[in-house]
Structure formats: structure tokens, C-alpha cells
Structure 1
Amino acid sequence: MTGILPRTSEVWHWLWVLVEAGLAHLWWIALAALVAVVVWVAAAVWWRRQAVRELAGRTRVELVPAATFDPELTEVGRVAGRLASVRSASGTLPRRAAAVRIRVAAGEEGRLHYWWEGPERSAGVLRQSGYRRVEVVAPRTRSERRWRIRFADAAPLKRGGSW
């Protein structure tokens, strides 16, 4: 070795030693790679089944505001913070199973109805409305019809794209 850098012949020698050792133990390397792939696939399948199981048992809460419902900005911020905490209250779940869905529709007499859907584990957080003059009621049974939202003449956005 001269100075800081080794001679070129020494570098090639040690690289060749590493290649020979790798070839001598190639089956170990292949076995380790195979085990890693099998573990990864098993974990991915388990994670997907976990998400499907959680999505099948979601909690739905119906909120019916009074006719004089007019929330203040601080109240809206507080409720938004509570809805954001649903994910942490539900524990370790796949991202799509821990999401909160908010639905709004006009009910009888023109009153708005809100539905909050989320993981069953965080049902307690969902049942606390946080708004004054809002009644939390047990939701009616879900209809068997699945609603589909379709956009005519609109191409879907690419994932991660901008508006």
C-alpha cells in the first residue's frame, strides 16, 4: 500500500476473492433471496386481508344538524382535528381501511344529513360530533344498492398528478 490508496493489483485481488466466495456460497444467497420474497408476499397478502376485513366492518354514524346550525370556525377546526385523530385511534391498520369517509345528503324537510364512516375500532371518536346543535343518531340500515359516482366526459386523474 502506498500512501492512502491501495495498489490496483490489490484491489483486483480482493474483488476476485469476494467473487469466488460469493460463487462458492451461491445457493445460500439464492435461498436467502427466496425466503425474503416469500416473507414479503406473505406479509402483503396478510396486510390486504386485514384491510378487506376492516373495510367490511366499518362503523357508520349519522349526524343531523338543527335548522339553526351555523358552526364557528374554531368549532370546525376542532371537529376536523377529531376526525384526523380517527386514524391514530384505530391503531395499526392499512391506510385505506383507516380512512374516514364523509357523506352529505339532503333528507326529509330539506335538512342536511351527514354520515361519518370509519374503522370500527374508532367508533367512540366518530360518535362524538363536537358540534353544538347537531344530533348524533343511530344510522338507518344500509340499503343493498351500491352507489357509483360516474363522471361523464372526464378523464381520470393520474395517480400523484396535479389538478
Structure 2
Amino acid sequence: MLGSVIRQAVSRQVIRKSPISTTSVVSQTIETKTDAPKKPTIWKIDEKKRERLANFGKYAAECLPKFVQKVQFAAGDELELLIHPSGVVPVLSFLKGNHSAQFTNLTFITGMDVPTRKNRLEVIYALYSVRFNARVRVRTYTDEIAPIDSVTPVFKGADW
């Protein structure tokens, strides 16, 4: 197939005069095979993974009932735990050290200000489990006065 394309390209060589100078210019036309139009990539939710994460979310809520207030999903199959501000260190320690979780990678920490709420500040921790290829977000809340404990003793990367 490639040989026939090359033969066709060589047989279609055209020598013509350049309109700017008297130098000859060789131009070749090579036929290329057009591929079918590409479809956009759509992120498919893995239902088995989502079910395993839902079961783990229930398990975490049962193990830490004092701190975990709500378990939900964000972005399709990303587990989200909403916790009490006093439970930041215990919950993150549980998620890192528990054999069923092993969320050993702190991906990022971010904050969000929602002025319409009484506790207007929200702190979000994103964790990743390399072993289970799963992500979890831990969200907590506070106001301008009450501090949140540092997670540097649990994740050294939080000290930046």
C-alpha cells in the first residue's frame, strides 16, 4: 500500500517556474489516507469502583461517627467526606493509615470562601490512594476566628 502511494506521488511531480524568480520549484502532492472523524473522549464512570467507594464511605462514617457528618460523591466517582473541624487530623490519619484505604498521597489543599454562610470558610483536602487508584476529598468548615489543626504531622507535604 505504501509503495503504491509513493509511486503515485513520484509520478505526480510537477516542475514549474516560480513567479518570483527563474528558479525551478519541485512540488509534490502526496495522497494521504483520511481517518474516520475522531469522537471526543468522555470520562466514563466505573460503577464497580463507585460502589466500592460508597461502601468505604459508609465504613468510614461508621468508624468515625463523631467526625464524619456526610458522605457524598463529587465529579462522578470521587468520594467526598464532609467532616467536623475538630476531626481533620483524626480523619486524615484514618484515611492514610487504614489498610482498607491507604490514601497516602496528599494531592492538594485548598480553601473556599462562601460569604453567605455562618461558617463561611471551607478547607478541602484531596487525597489519592495509589494502591486502589481512588480519590477522596475531605471538606471541613470554619469561620474567621476558629483555627483548624494542621495536618503536617500526618502529611509532611502539607507544610509548604
Question: Shorter chain as normaliser: what TM range?
Answer: under 0.3
Q: Give the structure-1-normalised TM-score.
A: 0.27
RCO higher in 1 or 2 (8 Å CA, sep ≥ 6)?
Answer: 1
What TM-score does the superposition give when structure 2 sets the normalisation length?
Answer: 0.27
Which protein has the bigger helix share?
Answer: 1
